[in-house]
Chain A
Amino acid sequence: MSEHKNTDLTVTDGSNELDRFPDPGMPEHKLRMADKDPKAAKRAEAQVVILFLISIVGTIAMLIAYFTIRPDGTTESVRNANLALGLGLFFALMGIGLAAVHWAKTLMSDHEKSEERHPQRSSDEVREAAVAVLKEGAEDSGIARRGVLKGAVVTALALFPLTIVVPLISSIGGDWDIAKFKHTIWRRGTRLAIDPTGKLLKPEDITIGSIVHVIPDVPAEERNSHHWITEKAKAIVLLVRLDQSELKEAPDRKSWSYDGIVAYSKICTHVGCPVALYERQTHHLLCPCHQSTFDVADGAKVVFGPAKRPLPQLPIMVDDEGYLVAQSDFDEPVGPSYWERLK
């Protein structure tokens, strides 16, 4: 092996020039049909004219459609008006585009031209002169001699970006209170109301196999506030009534249901989509986003999908007037995991 002095990796002057491809240069120019045959040129010209004519017709048709086909408020008339306007615009613009490209490809000159690159580097004299000017400027400003001035300018420049950074970071994370993720507005005695009508619920309203989408009962004026929207997003609950014989309950949760009625948070423990596809026969509750499936008859345990935890259960009871109310807030944070969840 040591006898080989010239390996492929050794670079010697000019020796591997032979291995390179020769520069093929410009390909031979081919004449197009329109260049060779005056008839073909005439034909191409006619085609371009026809394409422009299509565009003209499209524009006129669009304008006519705008004035003649007016939507009268029905879905169908809006659709028809949009269709007519859209088709007119399509032909108007497509005609111009196709005509321009066809014109350029068939009739305009297609001779290949090459231009040599000129060097990017400035000449030595210009470079030296530029350096001299910069040096003179620095000396003139006296920044090296005047220390206080130097400090002032550096401080001013360094501080200015704070006017952008501080409001930006502050408005991203203005609220660092993560404790609110752990609680919802459900309290002992909060009545259960139907989403979206706000009607209150009694146990006899819910027949076996029924499901009700439930929100906490709040005064009507509060429901228009921004605060309510964020609270509602955490507090939504799904109420299901099952045959008592089908309901499996953990011993410590026996008192959380009422006569076969169970209430579970509607927020998926995976990434927080509203879990609401309920199959009455299997008692399975499906999440539409990633198909996590929870068994409502068995503590909303996960039977399929990426969710890791059962849905939190809302303990319910009946108040003096016979309305369904919450016994307390959820006993764990609702929704998906976050770092501080168990702290």
Chain B
Amino acid sequence: MKALAARRHHRLTPVVLLLLALLVTGGLYAALAPTSASADTAAVDDIAAGEKLFLANCATCHGVDAEGRDEVPSLIGVGSAAVNFQVGTGRMPMQMNGPQAVAKPAQFDQEQTNQLAAYVASLGPGPSTPTAEQVDPALGDISEGAAIFRTNCAMCHNAVGAGGALSEGKFAPSLWETTETHIYEAMLTGPQSMPVFNDATITPEEKRDVIAFLVDQREGSAGGLSLGSLGPVSEGLWIWIIGIGSLIGCAVWIGAKSS
């Protein structure tokens, strides 16, 4: 103790003390937190767990009763499909205000997402998460899906689902990476700028056809390099710069005298 007391004015003392304090806090938390959490999951069902997650992560904006305010939508009656889409694609919880919430790595694992979805679904009836069979692309009709996609979706999401621009910084995202379940839920719930395509206007079978069409597009183009499937912009840049550039290069070489 004498040695310690002698060094209590050492300039590194605060740092050492701080580290010790952090270690103790962390250690105590590690020792106590798991026990209380496991007690929760063991004792209470998904809805209660979801409510806790909701109060900790969502209530700041959506309100403790999930009724929303001003620009923040109410979550009563949005159903589990909306939660699974927004939380599963990482759009919620939102990191910052912007033209639109963008997809990012999901903050919650599937179990927590399901708990949140169960809680929100318990607030009021709404569209629920589809089953694996409802979104199986193998069961869908690709050509039917193409016709429905062309009429309802292609104007924003591009003819093959490559995405496109909307107004004031908003955009329709590319659908290459989106999971089948999330595509289904987006149609059903109409997240953010997207309108709703409920089961009466596009039936569940037709939604599956659309998913089959979109999954088929992921194989790419039979013609080769698709240049992002963005149409005249990327194709024009390619042909004007690389195509005509190499033609000019050939013409210069043919016309130049040999050394």
A residues with a Cβ closer than 8 A to B are 30, 32-34, 74-76, 78-79, 82-83, 86, 101, 105-106, 110, 194-197, 201-202, 204-213, 240, 274, 276-282, 284, 286, 288, 291, 293, 304
Q: In the complex the two chains form, what is the Cα distance from A276 to B166 in whole Å?
A: 11
Q: Are A281 and B193 in contact (CB under 8 A)?
A: yes
Known: A209-B190, A277-B155. A82 touches B195 (CB 8 A): no
Q: How large is the interface on B (under 10, 10 to 19, 20 to 34, 35 or more residues)?
A: 20 to 34
Q: In the complex the two chains form, what is the Cα distance from A197 to B148 in whole Å?
A: 8
Q: Are A212 and B222 in contact (CB under 8 A)?
A: no
Q: Which 4 A-B pairs have the closest CB atoms?
A: A205-B200, A78-B222, A211-B195, A75-B219
- From A34, A74, A79, A204, B258 is in contact (CB under 8 Å) with A34
Chain A residues with Cβ below 8 Å from B193 are: 279-282
B257 within 8 A of A: yes
Q: Are A196 and B147 in contact (CB under 8 A)?
A: yes
CB distance from A39 to the nearest CB of B (A): 15
Encode contact with A along B198-211: 1 for CB under 8 Å, 0 otherwise: 10110000100000
Q: Are A210 and B201 in contact (CB under 8 A)?
A: yes
Q: In the complex the two chains form, what is the Cα distance from A289 to B122 in whole Å?
A: 44
Chain B residues with Cβ below 8 Å from A79 are: 220-224
Q: Are A277 and B197 in contact (CB under 8 A)?
A: no
- From A30, A101, A278, B195 is in contact (CB under 8 Å) with A278
Q: Are B201 and A194 in contact (CB under 8 A)?
A: yes
Q: Are A205 and B196 in contact (CB under 8 A)?
A: no
Chain B residues with Cβ below 8 Å from A32 are: 257-259
CB distance from B131 to the nearest CB of A (A): 21
Known: A210-B195, A211-B195, A213-B151. A284 touches B167 (CB 8 A): yes
- From B167, B201, B221, A279 is in contact (CB under 8 Å) with B167
Chain B residues with Cβ below 8 Å from A195 are: 151
Q: In the complex the two chains form, what is the Cα distance from A206 to B196 in whole Å?
A: 9
Q: Are A280 and B195 in contact (CB under 8 A)?
A: yes
Chain A residues with Cβ below 8 Å from B170 are: 279
Chain B residues with Cβ below 8 Å from A279 are: 166-167, 170, 193
Known A-B contacts: A30-B257, A213-B152, A240-B195. Give 9 more (CB < 8 A). A32-B259, A76-B220, A78-B222, A206-B198, A207-B196, A277-B172, A280-B190, A282-B167, A304-B167
What are 16 A-B interface contacts by the 8 Å CB criterion?
A74-B219, A79-B221, A82-B222, A105-B254, A197-B206, A210-B198, A211-B197, A212-B201, A213-B152, A277-B172, A279-B167, A280-B193, A281-B192, A281-B193, A282-B167, A286-B166
Closest B residue to A236 using CB positions: B151
Encode contact with A along B218-249: 1 for CB under 8 Å, 0 otherwise: 01111110000000000000000000000000
B103 within 8 A of A: no
Q: In the complex the two chains form, what is the Cα distance from A79 to B152 in whole Å?
A: 29
B residues with a Cβ closer than 8 A to A are 147-148, 151-152, 155-156, 166-167, 170, 172, 190, 192-198, 200-201, 206, 219-224, 253-254, 257-259
- From A194, A207, A280, B194 is in contact (CB under 8 Å) with A280
Which of B201, B220, B224 gathers most chain A CB within 10 Å?
B201
Closest A residue to B197 using CB positions: A210
Q: Are A210 and B196 in contact (CB under 8 A)?
A: yes
Q: In the complex the two chains form, what is the Cα distance from A196 to B192 in whole Å?
A: 25
Q: Are B166 and A205 in contact (CB under 8 A)?
A: no
CB distance from A37 to the nearest CB of B (A): 12
Q: In the complex the two chains form, what is the Cα distance from A82 to B206 in whole Å?
A: 33
Q: In the complex the two chains form, what is the Cα distance from A172 to B197 in whole Å?
A: 42
Q: In the complex the two chains form, what is the Cα distance from A239 to B170 in whole Å?
A: 22
Chain A residues with Cβ below 8 Å from B195 are: 209-211, 240, 278, 280
Q: Are B224 and A83 in contact (CB under 8 A)?
A: yes
Q: Are B258 and A106 in contact (CB under 8 A)?
A: yes
Q: In the complex the two chains form, what is the Cα distance from A325 to B148 in whole Å?
A: 22
Known: A194-B201, A205-B198, A279-B193. A101 touches B253 (CB 8 A): yes
CB distance from A239 to the nearest CB of B (A): 9
Q: In the complex the two chains form, what is the Cα distance from A276 to B219 in whole Å?
A: 27
Q: Are B200 and A206 in contact (CB under 8 A)?
A: yes
Q: In the complex the two chains form, what is the Cα distance from A205 to B203 in whole Å?
A: 11
Chain A residues with Cβ below 8 Å from B152 are: 213
Chain A residues with Cβ below 8 Å from B190 are: 209-210, 280
Q: Are B219 and A76 in contact (CB under 8 A)?
A: yes
Q: In the complex the two chains form, what is the Cα distance from A277 to B157 in whole Å?
A: 9
Q: In the complex the two chains form, what is the Cα distance from A278 to B196 in whole Å?
A: 11
- From B151, B192, B200, B219, A280 is in contact (CB under 8 Å) with B192
Q: In the complex the two chains form, what is the Cα distance from A277 to B224 in whole Å?
A: 29
Which of B155, B220, B223 gathers most chain A CB within 10 Å?
B155
Chain B residues with Cβ below 8 Å from A276 are: 155
Q: Are A101 and B219 in contact (CB under 8 A)?
A: no
Chain A residues with Cβ below 8 Å from B166 are: 277, 279, 286
Which of B151, B220, B254, B259 gathers most chain A CB within 10 Å?
B151
